[in-house]
Amino acid sequence: MPVFAQLDTNNIVINIVTISDDESPSEDVGISFCESFYDGGNFIQTFPDNSKRRRYARLGDYYDKSTDGFYIGNIEQNNIDPVRYCNLSNNTSYCVIYRNASSLFTGLIASTYFDQQYSPSQSAINLKKINTYNSCTGTPYAIIRDPVDRFISSYSLTTGGVPAWLPVDQFISWLVQQDKTKLNPHFMPQVNLIGIPAPSNIVYFDFAKDLTPMAVALGLPTPLPSVNVTDTSKKPTLTADQIATLQSFYADDVALYKQVSAS
């Protein structure tokens, strides 16, 4: 049976309403029925199978009209174990850093080393098939990306676990007030995902030019497919002040990327 979310004036879900198929042969008709039954209000259909609008709406969720999706309304940053290494049988270890080609590498690692069918799925899905550890046992490898470019890519993804519905200026204002050690991994500094201190023998590659050398080092097949590329139409254009704010927040990543890109 069709399900509709009732929104308050701030687009927060305040009620979940289930009606019959006869009362909702289409979404517009279902909305009209709900409005009539509840004497007004703002309604939008939500889907229990998560097939549309990003996720099934829950009380307290936020509905973002621009992305036509529901997001967790109460955001808690509590990522207490962010360091993840895939320790491979060829005595190498891959450091998982989200939005640094992690979907590509975790998919290839799952198929090459863990006998899983290759899938261009998101990293979180691929990692369900792979044991990860908070320390490395082989030579560790990590892809490092310009932190501002990584932020733009992560923001464009409109991932959960952060108030991704905010305009980019408001989102940056929210971001720089967060505890870096507990952030959603898409926005956590790369140095925190590598581990502090970093493994003494870690080998870095530059996201801008070293994806293939990284794959070769890990014993993965090449040429590499193009996976989970950010939709350029969703990328925000940042002002000079916003870039400066991000560079200050990600100062350690800026320094690390400068070192890696120069080598």
Confidence (pLDDT) at 159: 84
* pLDDT-derived band at 81, boundaries 50, 70, 90: confident
Q: What backbone torsions phi and psi does residue 247 show, to the nearest 5 degrees?
A: -65, -35
What are the extents of the domains in the chain? Answer: 3-71, 85-262
pLDDT tens by residue, 144-198: 999 999 999 999 988 878 988 889 999 999 999 999 999 999 999 999 999 999 9
The alpha-helical segments, DSSP class H, found in the chain are: 27-37, 102-113, 123-126, 147-157, 168-175, 190-194, 211-218, 240-249, 251-262
